[in-house]
Homo-oligomer: A and B are copies of this chain.
């Protein structure tokens, strides 16, 4: 249809430089018109690349992963890469992804989210020769993009310590998927405790409530704090989802948000704005984009030194810590 040989079509598809602009345009028009898209299996058989990247991620359906995937995809799709998602459901399945030559794993590279899975393999290396990038996790041997969760907890404590009233922390100790271990909540907790100590504040064990990652857990936490302490409260919820439950319970009990209870979340979910929830925002999409970028670079240059990219959370102040009036007058 474009009046060219299939080799030229292939060059257009693969962005080969030596194609005349006019020819390239003609071929692209024809592809558009015909709704043609190349067969990725054939591309892999012929060229050794499938233009697909695997993302191994925990089997937990939080907005964090939705946002992370968006970030990954935005960057990868610019280079015409597709991503295939592989929820890590059992260790057996991890083994399968890595060792078998299942279609599933026949991709060009690997992005591993939230786990440093190297501990599962002898020698601390992934049993693969494909490039691997960690995101929301870190390992010195691999490109890593991670959040400084300790700093997040510390910032939370320092910020909340400026207000009158006791400090509280709601955390999640249980492994989110009961299979692979993760450390983000423990890091936030350690940071929180150090921040509180630096501010000269004590945090008793019953000021720390451990629950599961659910809004209802936040409601139970507030109930528990109320049984043992007097208002006002300064609560750092280890996740926005948990903070949402605190908000619900504050409302149900008729307490005054930003006064009786000052509340700080963690994550910076898009919906926190509507709820007036102060939060330590993680630039999740940016982290995903960066991880995708590292993988793309690594695909070009396999030998470069592993890079460690640290992100910091940033404080977003809203009514849940400042009170409604303060916000209005800004």
Give chain A's interface residues, CB within 8 Å of chain B.
37, 39-42, 44-45, 50-52, 58-61, 65-66, 69, 82, 84-87, 89-90, 100-104, 106-107, 177, 211-212, 214-217, 219-220, 245
- What is the minimal beta-carbon distance from A90 to any residue of chain B, in angstroms? 8
Interface of A, secondary structure class, is mixed
**Is the Cβ of A50 less than 8 Å from the Cβ of B60?**
no
Query: Complex Cα distance A211/B84, Å?
Result: 33
- Kindly report which residue of chain B lies nearest to residue A87, judged by CB atoms: B85
Give me 18 other A-B pairs in contact (C-beta within 8 A), A40-B103, A212-B215 excluded.
A39-B101, A40-B41, A40-B101, A40-B106, A41-B44, A41-B106, A51-B103, A52-B102, A52-B104, A58-B61, A59-B66, A61-B87, A82-B103, A87-B87, A212-B216, A214-B215, A216-B216, A216-B219
Residues of B within 8 A of A106 (CB): 39-41
- What is the minimal beta-carbon distance from A179 to any residue of chain B, in angstroms? 10
**Is the Cβ of A45 less than 8 Å from the Cβ of B41?**
yes
**Is the Cβ of A82 less than 8 Å from the Cβ of B102?**
yes
Query: Complex Cα distance A65/B177, Å?
Result: 13
- Kindly report which residue of chain B lies nearest to residue A37, judged by CB atoms: B101
Residues of B within 8 A of A100 (CB): 37, 82
5 A-B pairs closest in CB distance: A216-B216, A214-B214, A40-B103, A41-B41, A59-B61
Residues of B within 8 A of A219 (CB): 216, 220
**Is the Cβ of B101 less than 8 Å from the Cβ of A107?**
no
